[in-house]
A and B are shown apart, each in its own frame.
Chain A
Amino acid sequence: MRRLWAGAVIVLVALFVIALAVGPVGIPLHDLWASEIVRTVRLPRAALALLVGAALGMSGGALQGVLRNGLAEPYLLGVSGGAAVGAVVATMLGLAGPAVTPVAALIGAAAAVILVLVIARVGGGRGADPRVLIMAGVVVGAFANAAIMVALASAPADTVRGAVWWMMGSVADARWSSIAWLAGYLAVGGVALILWAPEIDALALGDEAAAAIGVDVDRASRRIFLAAATVAAATVAAAGLVGFVGLVVPHIARSGGARAHRAILSASALVGASLVLAADIVARTVRAPADLPLGAITALVGVPFFLSRLRRST
């Protein structure tokens, strides 16, 4: 177990160094810190990818536990879509900025969570059939996409191009201000989730069992949802829609031996950071100098994984 943790940290550090060294301009390792390109372009980009991955991993790990559903994750649950609507609305209103966009995204994400849970309750309730909830999430996500398209219909071409790029997820435009805001949300939301992890352990048994053990089920699941949605919404505000990371990562954490949610969430943060860093390295090197959308890369990895999980749950 300890070896796996050490391995995960080593992989993360290695990927981070690779992310700084690799690119159109090759930079030798001993020159990394002196390089202008590294400091202004690659370092913020790698830092953002790392934070986005850690946040999505934790969010997915918490949602899978609370919802007792190995298919749950912020993107498939429509949380990210709702956050995107919030962020787009802020942009349209001319309010967008590193401080305001995350708040707008969070409002959108909260609205989406409520909508998904209401739809899922109509279709069978929390913890019933995992697929009902995912269906509700996909429907809300599709609705969010449509809403964004409608909102963008009359926007200037440049805005549309930027918005579409952003809806596919990207850390290319990493700025220190948005990195700092994301780090702040992740610090608060992540610490909250780690502290509440024993409640997630109990909720993963089912509502009645959790209540019997002494958990205030409704309150606990509400606040864990809110924290998970907050960190996911903050990633959307900073880097757009990056799907499937929250789905894949907790499974990797669990197959590495993490069972209690404190371990699952911590490992998910590490693995998620590595996964998004790796995906971004691929995104900017495979067809360099062109930049592939990060969300497309994670989806290419995530969709086959999702299908294999879905098969197992049917």
Chain B
Amino acid sequence: MISVDDLVVRYPQAREPALNGVTLRAERGALTAIVGPNGSGKSTLVRAMIGRVAVERGTVRVDDQDALKLSRRAFARRVAVVTQRDEPVFPILGREYVALGRYAHGSLFRTAQPDDPAVDAAAKRAAVTEFLDRRTDQLSGGEWQRLRIARALAQGGEALVLDEPTTFLDIAHEMALFELLADLARGGLAVLLVSHQLNLVARFAGHVVLLHHGKVAAAGTPSAVMRGSVLESVYEWPLVVTHDPAVGAPMLVPLRR
């Protein structure tokens, strides 16, 4: 379980904090989604977890351990994070990239190897086995996104945090990814997903946290959070919330102004 408590993060020279007292939980065995407009603090939260921004106040815990006090390596062994962007500046093989996920399990003299069985297992789970022997600069945007998921799965651990992993994915790959995340959650992982895909979140997530200006504007089940009045004021755009005709989940339809 990942729990964030009263987290305050302020970027240097910024007047307003990017996160202003955020509290949330991502339980094991569940898919928890963080949604919110651009600039609401979603990515900052992910950055705080991996120590790329200084935390002014508050805690991040993995089960009962203070995550902010863990070494990067120890944290990476427990929580795998897929950040918004990464790209090898000099191309490497898909297999070598996925093997980087094993970095935290190695040491100075015993480094992660591309033929580690964990690499193949992770690739199989993320359905990217066919990309393992291709070069990273020969993959499409969607193929690259899936390879990144495989790298995170190779990391192992009990929690998976993803910052907008469906960017560049077409409908089929997007659905496949959500299915995979739901599956991983069912398998016992705590999955914390930052996403702009509100309708998919509504169908797949068990718990939704809506961020707005660095604060939690609403949290709960998808139907509790995805109410027209709430979303309209947070996104500052006219919209209606209806019901997905296929599965009955709340469905958001933005209107034209």
**A and B interact:** yes
In the bound complex, residues from chain A placing their C-beta under 8 Å from that of B85 are 206, 208-209
Contacting pair A209 B83 (CB below 8 A): yes
CB neighbours (8 Å) of A211 from chain B are 50-52, 72
User: Measured between alpha carbons, how far is A259 from B81 in the docked complex, in Å?
Assistant: 24
The listed residue (B75, B86, B93) touching A214 by CB distance below 8 A is B75
- Give CA–CA (A207, B224) in the complex, Å: 37
Q: Are B100 and A205 in contact (CB under 8 A)?
A: yes
The complex places the Cα of A102 from the Cα of B83 at a distance, in Å, of: 41
Q: How far is the CA of A65 from the CA of B93 in the complex (A)?
A: 16
Q: Please report which residues of chain B, range 84-118, place their CB below 8 angstroms from some CB of chain A when the two chains form the complex.
A: 84-93, 96, 100-101, 103-104, 106, 108-109, 111-112
Distance in angstroms between the alpha carbons of A231 and B80 in the assembled complex: 35
Chain A, interface size category, equals 20 to 34
Check B20 for interface membership: any CB of A closer than 8 A: no
Indicate whether B173 reaches chain A with its CB closer than 8 angstroms: no
Residues of A within 8 A of B109 (CB): 195
- Residues of chain B lying within 8 A (CB to CB) of residue A260: 92, 96
> Contact check: which of B86, B93, B112 meets A205 at CB < 8 Å?
B86
A207 to B87, CA, bound (A): 11
Known A208-B85, A214-B76; contact A202-B91, beta-carbon cutoff 8 A: no
Q: Is A126 among interface residues, defined by CB-CB distance under 8 A?
A: no
Does B195 count as interface, using CB distance less than 8 angstroms?
Answer: no
Which residues between 47 and 61 of chain B lie within 8 Å of chain A, taking CB atoms?
A: 47, 50-52
Query: Would B100 and A259 count as touching, CB distance under 8 A?
Result: no
Q: Is B212 interfacial (CB 8 A cutoff)?
A: no
- What are the residues of chain B within 8 A of A204 when measuring CB–CB? 88-90
B87–A206 CB distance below 8 A:
yes
Known contacts A201-B100, A205-B87, A207-B52; is-contact A212 B76 (Cβ 8 Å): yes
Interface residue from B47, B93, B96 paired with A208 (Cβ < 8 Å): B47
| A173 at interface, CB cutoff 8 A | no
Q: Which residues of A contact B82 (CB under 8 A)?
A: 212
| Interchain CB contact under 8 A, A213 and B101 | yes
Report the minimal beta-carbon distance from B72 to chain A, rounded to whole angstroms: 5
- Asked if A198 is an interface residue, CB under 8 A from chain B, the answer is yes
The interface bits of chain B over 100-141 (1 if a CB of A lies within 8 angstroms of the residue's CB, else 0) are 110110101101100000000000000000000000000000
Please, how many residues of chain B have a CB less than 8 angstroms from a CB on the other chain? 38
- Mark interface residues in B160-189 (1 if CB within 8 Å of A CB, else 0): 000000000000000000000000000000
Q: Does B71 sit at the interface, judged by CB under 8 A?
A: yes
CB distance from B57 to the nearest CB of A (A): 21
Which residue of chain A has the shortest Cβ distance to B148 in the bound complex? A209
> B51 near A213 (CB under 8 angstroms)?
no
State the CA gap A206–B163 with chains docked (Å): 15
Q: Tell me which residues across on chain B come within 8 A of A207, comparing CB atoms.
A: 52
Q: Is there an interface contact between B72 and A216, defined as CB atoms closer than 8 Å?
A: yes
For B84, what are the chain A residues with a Cβ–Cβ distance below 8 Å? 208
A68 to B86 Cα, complex, angstroms: 11
- Find the A residue at minimum CB distance from B92: A259
With a cutoff of 8 Å between Cβ atoms, the chain A residues found around residue B152 in the complex are 212
B-facing residues in A231-256 (Cβ within 8 Å): 254
Determine whether A169 belongs to the interface, using a CB cutoff of 8 Å to chain B: no
For chain A, residues 203 to 226, give those with C-beta under 8 angstroms from any C-beta of chain B. Answer: 204-209, 211-217
Query: Measured between alpha carbons, how far is A172 from B91 in the docked complex, in Å?
Result: 39
Chain B residue numbers with a CB within 8 Å of A213 are 76, 100-101, 103-104, 151, 155
* B91 pairs with A259, CB closer than 8 A: yes
Contacts of B50 in A (CB 8 A): 208, 211-212
- Interface residue? B77 (CB, 8 A): yes
Query: Looking across the interface, which residue of chain B has its beta carbon closest to that of A130?
Result: B89
Contact A198 B86 (CB under 8 A): no
Which residues of A have CB within 8 Å of B88?
Answer: 204-205
Task: Tell me, in angstroms, the Cα distance from A206 to B90 when the chains sit together.
Answer: 11
Cβ-defined contact, B104 with A214, below 8 A = yes
- Does B52 contact A259, Cβ atoms closer than 8 Å? no
A209 to B88 alpha-carbon distance, docked (Å): 10
Given contacts A212-B76, A212-B82, A213-B76, whether A259 and B90 have CB atoms under 8 Å apart is: yes
Of all A-B residue pairs in the complex, the 6 with the closest CB atoms, nearest first, are: A214-B76, A209-B86, A214-B104, A212-B81, A68-B89, A208-B83
Q: Known A-B contacts: A213-B101, A259-B96. Give 17 more (CB < 8 A).
A: A204-B88, A204-B89, A205-B100, A206-B86, A208-B84, A208-B85, A211-B51, A212-B76, A214-B72, A214-B74, A214-B103, A214-B155, A216-B72, A217-B52, A259-B90, A259-B91, A260-B96
Residues on B lying within 8 angstroms of A by beta carbon are 47, 50-52, 71-77, 80-93, 96, 100-101, 103-104, 106, 108-109, 111-112, 151-152, 155
A-B contacts, 28 of them at CB < 8 A, read A64-B90, A70-B90, A195-B109, A198-B112, A201-B92, A201-B96, A201-B100, A205-B86, A205-B87, A206-B85, A206-B86, A207-B52, A208-B52, A208-B85, A208-B86, A209-B83, A211-B52, A212-B50, A212-B81, A212-B86, A213-B104, A215-B72, A215-B103, A216-B72, A216-B73, A259-B92, A259-B96, A260-B92
